[in-house]
Amino acid sequence: MVDNGLSTLQYQRILEHAENLNCKLCPSHHKVKETKQLCCPHSISVTETSAEITLQTLVDHTVPRICHIEFITEKLRLSTNTAFEVMKWGCDGSEQNRNKQKCFEETFSDESLFSICVVPLQIHSGKDDSKSVICKNPVPSSTKYCRLIKFIFAKESTDLITTEVEEIKHRIKELEPTKIFFADLEISVTPTLIFCIVDGKVCNAVSSCPSTQTCYLCGAKPNEVNKLPVIPKKEVSKEFLPFGISLLHSWIRLMKCVLHISYRLKIKTWQARGAEKKKKYLKKEV
């Protein structure tokens, strides 16, 4: 029902048709509704401009929900009394047309939305050589298992990104292990959150990089990238290595570079700088 986006009426019609064929595999809508309620954590704070939940509450709700899946429970019983939950988190902003609905706050606008989320990746027991994966997210890049920590109607800016990221990092430091109780067993699950759900704007804001064309890892500028003696001397900020390099954005940048070159074959540079080159470029455009 959730994956297919079925309405209540659609689900009930399918259920009635299945029962007419003596098929009772699907639960009643009442049972589905109860189960969906169990998926919703408590202590959610909602205002006119934002909604959020404490990180500890979200982790304490998410981990037991995963661990009480039947095949995962069986694996946990065979492991030690300690386990580890690996999650990734990050933030992003988006924009849309303004809603015509009136709001009490005059300065409020719903044109921009900034959200912070976390995605569970895997649960494992042991460390290093003795590490044993108990369960793994089959679609780590999908929004299917994405859990919102906070969203706020505000424009994505450097100050907002920096403030919210620092706040979440502070909450992560204060996280405590989640206790899971079975009939005859207690398991302590320690969460590990990796900050890697980022885009170029977030990377630049967190690394205090002034330009999107400057590498946030080593600080190399566009005019330095092709200078082989210069690049090896650059010091890489290991703090930002978990951000990685997006393959999709690499392909986009590559295609953009090819297009720029093809547009400006006569001047043979990606930007028309100088009066003479600008004159040639304008003649070509006309």
Three-class secondary structure of residue 128 per DSSP: helix
The pLDDT confidence band at residue 285, using thresholds 50, 70 and 90, is low
Asked if residue 132 is part of any domain, the answer here is yes
Q: Domain check: are 146 and 89 in the same one?
A: yes
Q: What is the per-residue pLDDT for 178?
A: 93
What is the number of other CB atoms lying within 10 angstroms of the CB of residue 56? 16
Distances (CA, A) of 178 to 52, 100, 188, 284: 20, 43, 6, 65
Asked if residue 267 is part of any domain, the answer here is yes
CA 149 and chain centroid, separation:
11
Q: What is the per-residue pLDDT for 283?
A: 60
Q: Domain check: are 115 and 150 in the same one?
A: yes
Q: Domain check: are 237 and 250 in the same one?
A: no
For the chain, what is the radius of gyration of the CA atoms?
25
Q: Domain check: are 48 and 130 in the same one?
A: yes
Q: Domain check: are 153 and 250 in the same one?
A: no
Q: What is the pLDDT of residues 192-212, one digit of tens each?
A: 999 988 888 898 899 888 787
Q: Domain check: are 91 and 171 in the same one?
A: yes
Q: Domain check: are 33 and 64 in the same one?
A: no
Q: What is the pLDDT of residues 224-237, one digit of tens each?
A: 888 888 888 888 88
Asked if residue 1 is part of any domain, the answer here is yes
Q: Give the number of domains in the chain.
A: 4
Residue 72 carries which side chain, given as an amino acid letter? I
Q: What is the per-residue pLDDT for 12?
A: 86
Asked if residue 19 is part of any domain, the answer here is yes
pLDDT of 61 over the 70 cut: yes
Point out which residues pair with 64 in neighbouring strands. Answer: none
* pTM (predicted TM-score): 0.77
Query: Which range of residues forms the domain containing residue 5?
Result: 1-39
Interatomic CA distance for residues 152 and 154, integer angstroms? 6
pLDDT of 100 over the 70 cut: no
Asked if residue 137 is part of any domain, the answer here is yes
Q: Domain check: are 50 and 126 in the same one?
A: yes
Q: Domain check: are 165 and 221 in the same one?
A: no
Q: Domain check: are 77 and 162 in the same one?
A: yes
Q: pLDDT averaged over the chain?
A: 83
Asked if residue 202 is part of any domain, the answer here is no
Q: Domain check: are 155 and 56 in the same one?
A: yes
Distances (CA, A) of 52 to 49, 148, 202: 11, 8, 20
Q: Domain check: are 148 and 163 in the same one?
A: yes
Task: Give the pair of three-digit tokens for residue 277.
Answer: 């080159």
Q: What is the pLDDT of residues 139-172, one digit of tens each?
A: 988 888 899 999 999 888 999 999 999 999 999 9
Asked if residue 204 is part of any domain, the answer here is no
> Which of 11-15, 67-71, 84-88, 273-277 has the least mean pLDDT?
273-277
Residue whose C-alpha is closest to residue 177's, from 63, 38, 75: 63
CB 234 within 8 A of CB 218: yes
Query: Please, where are the H alpha helices in 119-236?
Result: 158-173, 200-206
Q: What is the per-residue pLDDT for 278?
A: 60
The pLDDT confidence band at residue 280, using thresholds 50, 70 and 90, is low
Q: What is the per-residue pLDDT for 32?
A: 84
Interatomic CA distance for residues 203 and 212, integer angstroms? 9
Over residues 42-50, the mean pLDDT reads 88
Quote the percentage of the chain above a pLDDT of 90.
Answer: 26
Structure-model confidence comparison of residues 212 and 284, the more confident one? 212
The pLDDT confidence band at residue 281, using thresholds 50, 70 and 90, is low
Task: Give the pair of three-digit tokens for residue 205.
Answer: 């804001």
Asked if residue 203 is part of any domain, the answer here is no
